[in-house]
Chain A
Amino acid sequence: MIRFEKVSKAYPGPGKPALDNVSVDIEKGEFVFLVGASGSGKSTALRLVTRETRPTAGRVYVAGKEVNRLAGWKVPRLRRQIGTVFQDFRLLPNKTVSENVAFALQVIGKPKSEIRRVVPATLELVDLQGKGDRLPDELSGGEQQRVAIARAFVNRPMILIADEPTGNLDPTTSAGIMNLLGRINETGTTILMATHDESVVDQMQKRVVELDHGRVTRDEARGGYGSQVG
Chain B
Amino acid sequence: MQLRHSFTELRQGLRRNVSMHIAVVLTLFVSLTLVGLGVLLNQQAVRAADQWGSELQITVYLCRDSDDNPACLSEVTDPQKQEIERVVDESPEVADWHTESKAEAFEKVKELFGPERFEGPDAALTADDMAESVWITLEDPDEYEGIVSELRGRDGVASIQDLRDVVGPILNSIDALKYAAIGTAAFLVLAALLLVANTIRLAALARRKEIGIMRLVGASTLYIALPFLMEALVTALLGVAMAAGALAAFLKFGIIDRASQGLTFMPWVGWEEYTVTVIVIGALGPVLTLLPTLLLTRKYIKV
Counting chain A residues whose Cβ lies within 8 A of the other chain, the interface size class is: 20 to 34
Contacting pair A104 B217 (CB below 8 A): yes
B1 within 8 A of A: yes
B223 within 8 A of A: yes
A38–B217 alpha-carbon span in the complex (Å): 26
Contacts of B218 in A (CB 8 A): 76-81, 108
Contacting pair A75 B303 (CB below 8 A): yes
**How far apart are B230's CB and chain A's nearest CB, in angstroms?**
16
B5 within 8 A of A: yes
Q: Which of B68-76, B152-160, B170-178, B208-216 contacts its partner?
A: B208-216
Contacting pair B1 A151 (CB below 8 A): no
The B-contacting residues of A in range 50-80, CB under 8 angstroms, are: 50, 72-73, 75-80
Counting chain B residues whose Cβ lies within 8 A of the other chain, the interface size class is: 10 to 19
Cβ-defined partner of A79 (8 Å) among B1, B209, B215: B215
Considering only CB atoms, which chain B residue lies closest to A52 in the complex? Answer: B215
Contacts of A80 in B (CB 8 A): 217-218
A106–B212 alpha-carbon span in the complex (Å): 15
Knowing A76-B219, A80-B217, the reply to whether A111 touches B210 (Cβ < 8 A) is no
Contacting pair A109 B217 (CB below 8 A): no
A222 within 8 A of B: no
A106–B220 alpha-carbon span in the complex (Å): 12
A81–B220 alpha-carbon span in the complex (Å): 14
B66 within 8 A of A: no
Contacts of B217 in A (CB 8 A): 79-80, 84, 103-104, 107-108, 151, 155
Considering only CB atoms, which chain A residue lies closest to B216 in the complex? Answer: A84
Knowing A75-B303, A79-B218, the reply to whether A109 touches B1 (Cβ < 8 A) is yes
Knowing A80-B218, A151-B217, the reply to whether A107 touches B209 (Cβ < 8 A) is no
Cβ-defined partner of B212 (8 Å) among A76, A81, A90, A110: A90
Q: A204-220 CB contact bits vs B (8 Å, 1 = yes)? A: 00000000000000000
Q: List 14 A-B contacts (CB under 8 A).
A: A75-B303, A76-B215, A76-B218, A79-B216, A90-B212, A90-B213, A92-B213, A103-B213, A104-B217, A106-B1, A110-B1, A111-B1, A112-B1, A151-B213
Q: A92-B213, A104-B217 are in contact. List 14 more A-B contacts (CB 8 A).
A: A50-B216, A76-B220, A76-B303, A78-B218, A79-B218, A84-B217, A90-B212, A90-B216, A92-B209, A108-B218, A108-B219, A110-B1, A151-B217, A155-B217
Q: Interface on A for B, CB 8 Å cutoff?
A: 50, 72-73, 75-81, 84, 90, 92, 103-104, 106-112, 151, 155
Q: Interface on B for A, CB 8 Å cutoff?
A: 1-2, 5, 209-210, 212-221, 223-224, 303
